[in-house]
Copies of this chain bind each other. A is one copy, B any other.
Amino acid sequence: MAQRAASKRPLVTAPPAFPKPGHNHARCAADALAKAEAVCTARGTRLTDIRRQVLATVWQSHVPVGAYEILAQLNSGGGTPRSHKSRALTARGGRHAPMAVYRALEFLMGNGLVHRLASLNAYIGCAHRGEDPHAAQFLICRRCGITAELKSAALNRALNQAVTERGFTIDSQLVEIGGICPHCRPKP
């Protein structure tokens, strides 16, 4: 494994670029949805309407979304109304209750399609679609809100080592880094 190629920086692989402001995001979203379909088919789980809608909402951008924001979009948005008989709507004026969103998110997280950001109480589409649920690290731009998933082997190595040194056995990790992304940083 060629771990350090040039002189200055140990390039493990080309670090994936931080999502650019102007990129073709429709494609990000479409790809993610397509991948999700495939993953669910492969796993024998069902990507139902609500789940798909929630996933689509989460993929509207690279900015994490709160559960109630997703709910609001589900309820205001163009989707087809569901309950045809009870139009009580629980006096919330919407089609769905919070549970619907939380359940969909639970499903999506369980299938490795969405991550939760504990520092924001918000959710984001998984950038490594199609993989099993996995631990991830995040870079969160405090200016534009765009959040990128980081999967650094070196970081994982360092983390494992630091932890193991103390006799600890990892089974979950939460790494969320706040700061300024390359596109928001004033150029020199």
Contacts and interface: CB of A to CB of B under 8 A. Distances in A.
Interface of A: 9-11, 15-18, 118-119, 137, 139, 141-142, 148, 150, 152, 154-155, 157-159, 161-163, 165-182, 185
B159 A157 contact: no
A142 B172 CA distance: 10
A143 to B, nearest CB: 10
B176 A173 contact: yes
Q: Is the interface of A mostly helix, strand, loop or mixed?
A: mixed
A172 B176 CA distance: 8
11 contacts: A118-B119, A141-B168, A150-B163, A154-B162, A155-B159, A159-B175, A168-B179, A170-B177, A171-B178, A174-B175, A174-B178
How many copies, total? 2
B161 A154 contact: yes
Nearest to A157: B158
A139 B174 CA distance: 10
Contact of A174 (B16, B119, B148): B119
B18 A168 contact: yes
Contacts of A171: 142, 178-180
A182 B167 CA distance: 5
A25 B15 CA distance: 45
A167 B142 contact: no
A185 to B, nearest CB: 6
Given A158-B159, A161-B154, A175 B175 contact: yes
A82 B162 CA distance: 46
Contacts of A161: 9-10, 154
A163 B155 CA distance: 9
